[in-house]
Amino acid sequence: MAVRSFSYDVFLSFRGEDTRYCFTGNLYNVLRERGIHTFIDDDELQKGDQITSALQEAIEKSKIFIIVLSENYASSSFCLNELTHILNFTKGKNDLLVLPVFYIVDPSDVRHHRGSFGEALANHEKKLNSTNMENLETWKIALHQVSNISGYHFQHDGDKYEYKFIKEIVELVSNKFNRDLLHVSDALVGLGSPVLEVKSLMDVGSDDVVQMVGIHGLGGVGKTTLAVAVYNSIADHFEASCFLENVRETSNKKGLQHLQSILLSKTVGEKKIKLTNWREGIHIIKRKLKEKKVLLILDDVDEQKQLQAIIGSPDWFGGGSRVIITTRDEHLLALHNVKITYKVRELNEKHALQLLSQKAFELEKEVDPKKKKK
């Protein structure tokens, strides 16, 4: 099966007259600041009642669909056609997510076509001729379907500020992407137990402290693979995450400020930041991340200045943050006062043979004569 490529992380479907310059506009801005690439239409893509080919392409290149169901959403046949296309496109695709937001509307009104939704559908029925009645039934089905999807409900007379409501949505979306950031190409031979042991050391459930854990061992022993596995298994517990790979090589070639820029881009969406030196980066990291619960991995560290520039001290980060450092130099961890460490040991004979067998099998598949062109 071909891997689907995505142009957008999030696609926003909404009634412009209702929420463009308030809720949806604010939601878009927070998503963008978090570094989540979000599609929001510019009105030029809306021509008449039907969605354009450009808008259809944007839908089919997006991964998460936030449907803002506001009071006048159903009065727009364009919105209803857009909703129908989204639901048809996402049906049966487990890698896509539809997230309805009931913005000052009752979900039951959407489901049972009551209130403003019932009135809008009645008005559409009056305007449609007999040959287009099929559209009306399609819209009704789409509204019923979207109302049955677990989502968010906001009311002005509720007990929550709108900015907090937006933050909850953004956290859910952000966590969704945390799960998809890293890929382990090799099987985790012999790493089942180490993953559990490192996770135990990290004590992810404790939010009152910032924990730094060092993973050390010989070169090629599997430190990075272990860090990736741990990262993937706990990333959804954090507001933001960042995996800085090959710290030693990157800092030598591009400087510490480049690594700092990557960190800020991944955690707070600072896409256009230009750091003149790593000392300036320290100030910005401390200011931007001191209230944020983050997961940060520094892979292949070989000098203390790398740690000083990126994770100077625990109070740089918000409560509950976790930092993993992989290095060949156990002494380097002690210099930076990293007290919790884990040593990755070489594979035993059983696991080494298992890994060798897997590699041999993969190679055999690659050179299978049956698959060669004649």
Longest Cα–Cα distance in the chain = 80
Inter-helix orientation angle 77-90/53-60, to 10° = 40
Nearest to 100 by CA among 253, 109, 92: 109
Q: Which of 127, 104, 100 is nearest to 115 (CA)?
A: 104
Give me 241's structure tokens. Answer: 């995450």
Q: Sheet holding 97-103: strands in order across?
A: 38-39, 8-13, 62-69, 97-103, 152-154
Active site residue ranges: 82
For the chain, what is the radius of gyration of the CA atoms? 25
Transcribe 242-263 into DSSP letters. Answer: EEE--HHHHHHHH-HHHHHHHH
Cα separation of 372 and 366, whole Å? 9
Q: What angle do CA 305, 307, 312 make, to 5 degrees?
A: 105
- Please list, in sequence order, all residues whose beta carbon lies within 8 angstroms of the beta carbon of residue 246, skipping any fewer than 6 positions away: 299, 300
* Cβ pair 270, 325 in contact under 8 A: no
Rounded to whole angstroms, the Cα distance separating 370 from 235 reads 42
199 and 230 Cβ atoms separated by less than 8 Å: yes
Helices then strands, each counted (H, E), the chain = 16, 10
* Sequence-ordered list of residues with C-beta below 8 angstroms from that of 262, at least 6 positions apart, any chain: 242, 244
For residue 125, report the phi and psi dihedrals to the nearest 5 degrees. Answer: -60, -35
Q: What is the DSSP letter of 3?
A: P
Q: Do the Cβ atoms of 264 and 286 come closer than 8 Å?
A: no
Q: Which amino acid is at 16?
A: G
Q: Which residue, chain included where needed, has tokens 């559209």?
A: 135
